Amino acid sequence: MTRFAFYGRVSTEDQQDPEASRQWQITRARALTEQHGEIVTEFFDIGLSRSLPWKRRPQAGLLLEALRDPDRGFDAVVIGEPHRAFYGNQYSLVYPVFEHYGVALWVPEVGGPIDPTSEAHDLIMSVFGGMSKGERNRIKIRVRAAMASQAAMEGRYLGGRPPYGYRLADAGPHPNPAKAADGKRLHRLEPDPAAAPIVRRIFAEYVNRKGIYAIAEGLTRDGIPCPSAHDPARNPHRDGVAWSKGAVKAILGNPRYTGRQVWNRQRKHEVLIDVEDVALGYETHLRWNDPKDWVWSATEAHEAIIPAEIFTEAERTRTARTHAQGPRHREAVPHPYQLRGLLFCGICDRRMQGNWVRDTAYYRCRYPDEYALANHLAHPRNVLLHEAQIIPTLDTWIARAFEPSRLRDTVHALETAQLDGHSTDQVKAQKTIHDCTRKIRNYRTALDAATGDTAAVTIATWITEAEAERSTAQAQLHAARHRHQMSSDEINALVSTTGAIVNVLRDADPAQKASLYLELGLKLIFRPSPAVLRVEARPRPTHVGVRYVSEGGLGHYAHALDRRRRFPIPQPAGDR
């Protein structure tokens, strides 16, 4: 009897029930394999786009790693739906790995295992990859065309956070009958009584020749909450201590305050991760579109906060000031910041920004230049830290975990972290499922007793939200239960392969070291007076395992730290 491993994937948790998708995919796989053996293990990716290469999908990556193990526990892999597994040329990149390790790949479309010598099988699988890519592209085109039409013709609010100064209001039932039956409603923007006057004040002061920074400081001085403080529930990623220049500038540049709906101001752009290795796939970046590509509603879609002529005057003022300062031509040059996104200012808790000076990397926090001075925070004008002051000591600290004298403790910490993390994740997911089930039961009881249409629609919306939250928790629980756990022997063998990691870290490419620091879960907090850097390493249990980087770099590495240390940093003289 053949032992099979099953692989499947579901893309979005909000549109599909992950468990239902898994069930029909594995049922299809069992129908193909039941006369030849049984499925003994599963690999199922949840919430990931099909465009992601297999190595960047957690479960698919684990499956590829398992192929290397002679004691993998299965003889073949079965896929229930090739459209969900392969995209574009992924089949041609992945199947040679199966063939190399002698593991058969079964798919329903060929009625059994793929024959590597069959041109027909190769053609069929390539066609499915092309169809999968074409389907994704067609969906993107249809969705964008529909959204552009709805914004231009109907002035429909298409989602996202409402701009500061507005709040969401009900705009009636959804025009799609099925969505309306589920209680979904349309929304529109209406002025926020507390924030709309602030928007008017900002525009009035700006067209009267007051600068952006002066406007921000005046708002903070008058005790007016900044956008993130005004709505902290929707801005948990911001500190909300004061008005920033960026917030004022964003308000002045938003044409929706004129009452017109404007869509397509930004777009998601896919960029190759490495042009020398196309198989790594793409990263998605958000970019601003040219104003001529914006889609405007034909008429006013919501109540205007400022007249169109005031917005036009503000745009004219901003253009004049930009031209008065002269054009700024600065070519963007990528620099290998090894601590990108990991270094925080110990005074204001904000991420420090990379700054390239004289061919070397620095990190700085320019708090007063970004936020109003009226917040009364004792913050130097510049907090500056040289990368070269940190990296050698940091690498030595990381390497200590791999020393022979500490190897046993490291392996034990990794194994314990897996068990603790898995248990915690499952408990959280189960509690969420229980709470949502209780809420849904109570909501349905209330729905039966509801007397008015408004109350019924509101309760139906609550039920929909609770069901979506429960589906997400069920997907998380499934992922936690099927997460691969490495044994102490596996971890020990993995760590032993790292060798003299001190020398490897010292000589590694900066971009590859940045990837290592990120996977280790490093967080560095710098306080300038006295100059002390606190380092925390908290690798997540889901990341315990092998990672691979490009040739000539770190090779295999393990995540073996969960401890803290303080490093004294010698500071040069001057304003730091």
Residue 554: phi and psi, rounded to 5, are -80, -20
The most confident of 30-34, 550-554, 568-572, by mean pLDDT = 30-34
- Residue 377: which residues within 8 A CB-CB, separation 6 or more? 241, 347, 348, 367
What's the pLDDT at 550? Answer: 30
Is the per-residue pLDDT at 119 higher than 70?
A: yes
Q: What is the pLDDT of residues 299-331, one digit of tens each?
A: 999 999 999 999 999 988 888 876 655 555 555
What's the pLDDT at 266? Answer: 87
What's the pLDDT at 573? Answer: 41
Is the per-residue pLDDT at 498 higher than 50?
A: no
What are residue 78's DSSP bridge partners?
6, 106
Residue 113 burial (CB count, 10 A): 20
Q: How many residues does the chain have?
A: 576
Residue 86 burial (CB count, 10 A): 27
- End-to-end Cα distance, the chain: 70
Lowest mean pLDDT, pick from 33-37, 277-281, 291-295, 542-546: 542-546
Question: What's the rounded Cα separation, in Å, for the pair 23 and 53?
Answer: 23
Over residues 346-355, the mean pLDDT reads: 84
HSE on the CB side for 133, CA within 13 Å? 14
If pLDDT is split at 50, 70 and 90, which confidence band does 433 have? Answer: confident
The CA-based angle 275-281-283, given to 5 degrees, is 90
Q: What is the pLDDT of residues 472-482, one digit of tens each?
A: 777 777 766 65
Q: What is the pLDDT of residues 199-235, one digit of tens each?
A: 999 999 999 988 898 899 899 888 899 998 888 876 6
Give this prediction's pTM: 0.60
CA 352: distance to chain centroid? 20
Over residues 19-23, the mean pLDDT reads: 87
What are residue 528's DSSP bridge partners?
531
493 is written with which tokens?
């063998």
